[in-house]
Amino acid sequence: MEQEAARPRGDVYPQPCNGGSYQKWRTVQPAARSAVMLQSVGTGGCLQQQDNGYYRTVACDRNAQNQRFTIG
C-alpha cells in the first residue's frame, strides 16, 4: 500500500486516520491573496476536482483553477 500511495496521481478515497504521510496535506498559495492548493505530503501530488465531481491527486499546476480551494 505504501508503494502505491507514493504515486502523485490517483483516486482520493476515505480511510480511517493512521498518521501516514499520504493522509497529510500542505497548503500552497500559487499567487498572492488566492485560494490555496492542497499538496499531498506523501505523494507530492495536488488535489484536483474532476468534471464528474470526484477528486484525484495529479501533478501540481499553479494555473489550474480546479486545483484551488478556499479553506475556512
- Can you give the residue range of the structural domain that contains 10? 2-67
Question: Is 58 part of a structural domain of the chain?
Answer: yes
Question: Is 72 part of a structural domain of the chain?
Answer: no
Dig out the grid coordinates for 13 from the structure. 478515497
pLDDT at 6 over 80: no
Domain count, the chain: 1
Question: Is 47 part of a structural domain of the chain?
Answer: yes
How much is the pLDDT for 4?
A: 42
Q: How far is CA 53 from CA 1, 29, 46, 68, 69, in A?
A: 25, 23, 16, 14, 14
pLDDT at 7 over 90: no
Model confidence pLDDT, tens digit, residues 22-67: 899 999 998 888 899 999 999 999 999 999 989 999 999 999 999 9
